[in-house]
Amino acid sequence: MLVTIGAIFFIYILTKIYISVMEIGYVSIQKHNPAVILTASNYLKAANYKISSQRLDIVGSLVEYIAFIFWIGFGLKWLDGMITIEDMALKSVLYVLLFGVVGFFFSLPFDLYKTFVLDKKFGFSNMDAKLYIVDTLKSSLMFILFGGAITWLISKIIINIESWWLWGFALIFGIMVIINVIYPTLIAPIFNKFTILENDDLKESIEKLLDSAGLKTDGVFTIDASKRDNRLNAYFGGLGKSKRVVLFDTLIEKLTKNELLAVLGHELGHFKHKDILKNIAMVGTLLFLMFFIFGNLPESLFEAIGIERSPYSIIAMFLIFSPILLLFFMPLFGMMSRSNEYHADEYGSACQSQEELASALQKLANENKSFPKSHPLFIFFYHSHPPLVERLKRLGVKIDE
């Protein structure tokens, strides 16, 4: 059994590395061709950033495999022996929290390097040590409080209900929907300052755009995104009455009024086409599949690792092996998402014009240093948006490749 699960995880890691290697090779060739969409300097910088990011991901995949060997080889059994509490639900909480702490230290060097070396080098990150520590403490506290509470609830379900995986799915899916509802009003403000849009002319135009689409929101807000990053973005957050229009302060500075309205029109297209609900349904389907699989793991798996079947060991298996399902489920999600993006572009164009949306997308790509091309395999597995070259062609932009 250990050989089987080891082989499955090895194939998963090998697949990730192969995709990254193909992307590096593709971008390394394309960066020497004449620049498209981006300025020549930004085109080269975007290519180099993509190559550096993928190299970091390869190293991260190797460390992920080392972490897998650690946990399966002796880590899970070692952690089990450390916690001698008899209350099974409480032991599960401590076990999962400690599992998360170890995982945090595995990933910390990569996060630090990306934030303070890679993103600084390419002019993205404005993060300083104080803000990074504050963000980490806030995230850790939320993980302890909410992660602990959810683990306790799941453990109680596993202990007391035979078909626990079905009820566990219902609980997590319900929590996921609740998070979508409360995120813009309760969670996001923990990390960013939300301010009501002060530009009355822009605010009035946005509200007219929302009214034309029949969208009722909690308001139009800007956030101080520039304190962490120079990238541009905007989004509609929340469900029901908690929906908010959120504009990054960096976006308002770089786009014209009509370009910004075209971008928001694109986001409105997702609302009109109920893409958020489609995404929730897709995630719910994947979540159901995961709970079914991990709710019916063979006893021999736990015996091979040397731990008993328990709430905490089941949750640990879920955390270790769920990335495999995510990777191989992503192509289906990506195909649906890329189709949705084209339809949203059509709606955004109708709100303003194809020219305004195309101009906004080009500015976003230049400011965010987004390389406009990718290897087909990388697109297949990872892209939730179509390549920018293809989006602009659909918008009538003639691109000489």
pLDDT in tens, 33-55: 999 999 999 999 999 999 999 99
CA 18 to CA 309: how far, in whole Å? Answer: 34
Answer yes or no: is pLDDT of 110 > 90: yes
H helix or E strand, kind and range, residue 247: strand 244-248
Answer yes or no: is pLDDT of 242 > 70: no
Side by side, the strands of the sheet bearing 194-196 are 194-196, 220-223, 244-248, 234-237
Residue 180's pLDDT band (cuts 50, 70, 90) = confident
What single string gives the DSSP state of each residue in 340-391? HHHHHHHHHHHHS-HHHHHHHHHHHHHHHT--S---HHHHHHH-SS--HHHH
Per-residue pLDDT averaged across 69-75, rounded? 93
Per-residue pLDDT averaged across 381-386, rounded? 93
Quick one: pLDDT at residue 183? 85
Residue among 64, 275, 345, 356 flagged as catalytic: 345
The residue among 396 and 76 whose pLDDT is bigger is: 76
Per-residue pLDDT averaged across 266-278, rounded? 87
pTM, entire model: 0.90
Quick one: pLDDT at residue 250? 84
Per-residue pLDDT averaged across 135-160, rounded? 95
Mean of per-residue pLDDT scores for the chain? 91
Q: Active site includes 267?
A: yes
Per-residue pLDDT averaged across 322-328, rounded? 93
Quick one: pLDDT at residue 381? 96
Please provide the size of the chain in residues.
401
Quick one: pLDDT at residue 175? 94
Per-residue pLDDT averaged across 331-338, rounded? 93
Residue among 23, 119, 259, 267 flagged as catalytic: 267
**Among residues 289, 349, 273, 299, which one has the least CA distance to residue 325?**
289
State the amino acid at position 96 in one-letter form. Answer: V
Answer yes or no: is pLDDT of 298 > 70: yes
The residue among 196 and 219 whose pLDDT is bigger is: 196
Answer yes or no: is pLDDT of 68 > 70: yes
Quick one: pLDDT at residue 334? 93
Q: Active site includes 345?
A: yes
Which residue intervals of 114-199 are DSSP H helices? 119-121, 129-142, 148-160, 164-182, 188-191
Answer yes or no: is pLDDT of 401 > 70: no
Residue 274's pLDDT band (cuts 50, 70, 90) = confident
